[in-house]
Amino acid sequence: MIHGTRIGILGGTFDPIHLGHLDTALAAQKALHLDRVLLLPSGMPPHRQEQPSASRFHRFAMTALTANGVDGVIVSDLEIGEGGPSYTFDTLRRVHLSGIGAAQIFFITGADAFAEIETWSRYPEVLEMANFAVISRPGYPAPVTALKLPSLASRMRSASPASPAARGASSQLEIFLVDARTRDVSSTEIRRRRRTNDSIRGLVTAAVETYIDQHELYSQAREPLTQAGHLHDQN
């Protein structure tokens, strides 16, 4: 890994990955001038009582299709083969072992999920494993995060493509608030639409829509009822 390279990481169950996920990755990439964004589908999400509807192989394939042709966005298999829960702290530790320092990493999460960071595994240690990029979600703008987590407000700073502060290296790990528009899409809604034979066009990429149709994913017969997770199980 080249010294100084800035790496974004967006993890999630991606069951399936949708355009809201892609919007989130690209918003962080643009605002923080990231050289690369890794999409990490999880093997076993820690906050769901049941396993994902689609197998890890299907979820990895759909993530790869979403990243295909998007400059600077790639899929990683770092988690997909793991047998245990995909906790953020453990994922970041594995990234460190690959030679990427904490200051080079920007862990990307939605503002709604980050608001619950005090419930995350290994909090507050996890905040020392990477910078965090907190992206606005529909109905939950990133700047609200400072009000929800006043104890962390001193580490938070706004970031945008025009912000020179978001470009430079810092000795202190920071929490960057990115107020960007991301599409109001959820994996839960996509699975519901599939069960009722409604269209999912415009919610996922065309390639993922075709893949879901070809493999008959999330149909009435195949879809277990699960609750959406959060944290590293971003919906």
In a domain, 200, yes or no: no
Give a yes or no: residue 99 inside a domain. yes
Domain total in the chain: 1
Does 227 fall in a domain? no
Q: Which residue has tokens 């020179």? A: 164
Within a domain: residue 224?
no
| Sequence-ordered alpha helix ranges (H) in 33-142 | 56-67, 88-97, 111-114
Which H or E element spans position 19? helix 19-32
Q: What is the reported pTM?
A: 0.89
**70, part of any domain:** yes
Q: Is 139 part of any domain?
A: yes
Q: Please, which residues have CB within 8 angstroms of residue 217's CB and are 6 or more apart in sequence?
A: 16, 53, 54, 58, 194, 211
Q: Is residue 199 part of a domain?
A: no
The answer as to whether 191 is a domain residue is: no
**Each residue's pLDDT expressed in tens, for the chain with a length of 235 residues:** 445 699 999 999 999 999 999 999 999 999 999 999 999 999 876 665 577 999 999 999 999 999 999 999 999 999 888 777 779 999 999 999 999 999 999 999 999 999 999 999 999 999 999 999 999 999 999 999 999 999 999 999 999 877 755 665 566 899 999 999 999 999 999 999 999 999 999 999 999 999 999 999 998 654 443 333 333 445 5
Enclosing domain of residue 99: 7-184
Map tokens 């906050």 to a residue. Answer: 47
CATH number for 30: 3.40.50.620
